[in-house]
Amino acid sequence: MSSRSLVPTIFFLAILIGCWLVYAPGLNGYFNFDDFGNLNALGQEGGVHDWASFLRYLTSSHADPTGRPIATLSFLIDGNDWPAWARSFKQTNLLLHLLNGTLLVWTLLKLSRVSHSEEIAQRAALIGGAIWLLHPLLVSTTLYVVQREAMLPVTFGLAGILLWLHGRSSMASSQTRGTVWMLVGLWGGTFLGTLSKANGMLLPLLVLVLEGTVLRRACGGAPESSSLVRSRRYVLGIPLAAMALIIVSLVPDAVNGAPNIRPWTVGQRLLTEPRVLIEYLRLLWLPRSLSSGLFNDQIHASTSLFEPLTTVFSLLALMALFAAGLLLRKRRPAWALAILFFLAGHVLESSFIPLELYFEHRNYLPALFLFWPLALWLADDRSQGRTKAFASIAIIVFLALLTHARASLWGAPLKQAVVWAKINPQSPRAQTNGAMFLLTQGRVQEAHDLLTQAATRFPNEAQVISLLASTECRSHHLGKETKTRLLEAFRLDPHGTRLPFNWIEASLKDASRHSCQGLDLAFLDEAVASLSRNDRASTPGGQQDLAYLHAIIALANDNGDVALASFDAGLDDLAQPATALKQAALLGTYGYPELGLRHLAYYQTVHQPRQFHLNMPAIHAWLLERQSYWKNEFDELSIALRKDAANRQAGMSRAPAR
């Protein structure tokens, strides 16, 4: 092998090593945001330690109808208990990012060869892959542990595309062999990608974009063989039809579910997403060292085409881009691929499904081919060769510096939280997150000042006001103004009842012990009453939460009968075995084991067998029943409550008469 032929390999290895080095400071960071709600399943029941607990863990996620089992499974690489060490998870994410970059370079090499010389193809693949690998916008995917769910569909998608391309080129020698490779690549990649995250099902659409743009040139203008046309029709047509049916079937639930969990409608989301997509494109083509990070609740939904005014302009720009992608398919297929692939990659997460409006990690898949046209131009050294070579190196180094700066921030959690709070002044989450990190460092006054300012800007945000109340209780005094704000925020908070519920439950101990002046059981009763007037509390889950809060306050007031009645009423709204067990155990803990037994018996009267649906929550419920999990839990708690009741009766009988 000549030294000249080694240059691309050396350059490629340098890119991978460089990518690891620029990301390395971020490996020292901690878990973020959704990590806690998704990874804590690792520690349920003492961790994943045997076959039964492994199956329960594997089916524990309720994200997407599939539960994302492959992504869930991958977290066991780094830990089988919770809490865990974040560095191991982040290292695995970074290795996966490097693998995806490798697959992308390979894919770009094959696509570039369609209409360019080998030297240009190699340079274009390396430049295009390097820009994607080192782009700072992807830091919030790679170093955000739970977003391995967004990375794995890219792994399987690129592998599927490579097998599709191999099968396509094999059709000339063997139709059967070529068809098999295409089928394995497309169907296998779609299946595995979908089990990682729902947008993995977009692979057939993405391959269709490839076929309609760059691969139109693969035959050099000659008609495609009938065998290729026939194989493509069936291998690609069947999953495309299935994908379309699945997406259409999701629409009713999306439309009906959004008002219950979001402060906007699906229609408003559809109006908003063009603004979001244009912002994504701006950040992709004009990268910077800092961004809003994980907290994007400052983005408000569009309420009409002209409110805000950028809505209509963004929609027109997006329509123009789509039209340009269609028109450029013959003359500029690489640009057509870049545009149409980006839009196709956002079909699920940036359309009607009521996800949050904006997240940077949603660009990890759509941006794969976005920079390839630029790379092709830079790689073509037939004119301005030295200038283009210098520009290529300058772009890669510039992106590496930006990514290093952003990764360094991810490796300093306190600094990251404070910076995000500063650059996102209109984000309640960013303010709350910043204050929480300040509190962990004992900087109570700084946290209080930050939350006081945020409370003025966001009077209806329970997350801000409740943390302000908890911060004041650290100084053992809950102010009258904060109490008034808290009651109003509980009544008006647009995000539902879960956070107020958590605050009231967590505050019960302080209220019972009178350890915080101004916080007592009577005020918690007022808080529950205010929460009950929140429009989001009308769901069965919301009603059960309210009943639970009434019950635990009654227990703190030594009123077991009222508590039992409230617990039972909660089961009338939503009968779940975990809820019944928790409530019965609480009755026993507060000295009412007989009432705990009655509550367990009541659950058996209201519990209805769960109807089976083809989704992961239903499979998880079936598995628990198959393993007699709930039966064993109920039996164990019943034995403990009976023992406590017997001991209590014995103690009462031995008590001296007065």
Written as six digits, the tokens of 313 are 């302009």
Is the separation of the CB atoms in 215 and 329 below 8 Å?
no
> Could you give the CA distance from residue 543 to residue 571 in angstroms, rounded to a whole number?
10
Could you please report the per-residue DSSP string of 204-245? HHHHHHHHHTGGGGTTTTSPPPHHHHHHHHHHHHHHHHHHHH
For the entire predicted model, the pTM comes to: 0.93
Instruction: Report pLDDT digits (tens) over 169-219.
Output: 888 888 889 999 999 999 999 999 999 999 999 999 999 999 999 998 665
Q: List, as own/partner pairs, every contact residues 184-189 make where C-beta atoms lie below 8 angstroms and the sequence separation is at least 24, other chains included.
A: 185/159, 185/160, 185/161, 186/160, 186/235, 186/236, 186/239, 187/235, 187/239, 188/156, 188/160, 188/163, 189/156, 189/157, 189/159, 189/160, 189/161, 189/163
| 361, β-bridge pairs | none
| 517, β-bridge pairs | 477
Q: Cβ neighbours of residue 416 under 8 Å, at least 6 residues apart?
A: 29, 293, 409, 410
> Could you give the CA distance from residue 618 to residue 561 in angstroms, rounded to a whole number?
34
What pLDDT, on a 0 to 100 scale, did the predictor assign at position 539? 84
Give Cα separations from 416 to 245, 362, 628 (angstroms): 42, 21, 45
What pLDDT, on a 0 to 100 scale, did the predictor assign at position 223? 64
Instruction: Report pLDDT digits (tens) over 328-368.
Output: 999 999 999 999 999 999 999 999 888 899 999 999 999 99
What pLDDT, on a 0 to 100 scale, did the predictor assign at position 393? 95
Low-confidence ranges of the chain (pLDDT < 70): 1-4, 217-223, 257-260, 612, 653-658
What pLDDT, on a 0 to 100 scale, did the predictor assign at position 560? 94
What pLDDT, on a 0 to 100 scale, did the predictor assign at position 218? 62
Is the separation of the CB atoms in 357 and 296 below 8 Å?
yes
What pLDDT, on a 0 to 100 scale, did the predictor assign at position 47? 84
| 307, β-bridge pairs | 304
Is the separation of the CB atoms in 413 and 439 below 8 Å?
no
Domains present along the chain, CATH in parentheses: 3-410 (no CATH), 424-534 (1.25.40.10), 552-653 (no CATH)
What pLDDT, on a 0 to 100 scale, did the predictor assign at position 61? 86
Q: In this structure, how many other beta carbons lie within 10 angstroms of the beta carbon of residue 9?
A: 12
What pLDDT, on a 0 to 100 scale, did the predictor assign at position 250? 78
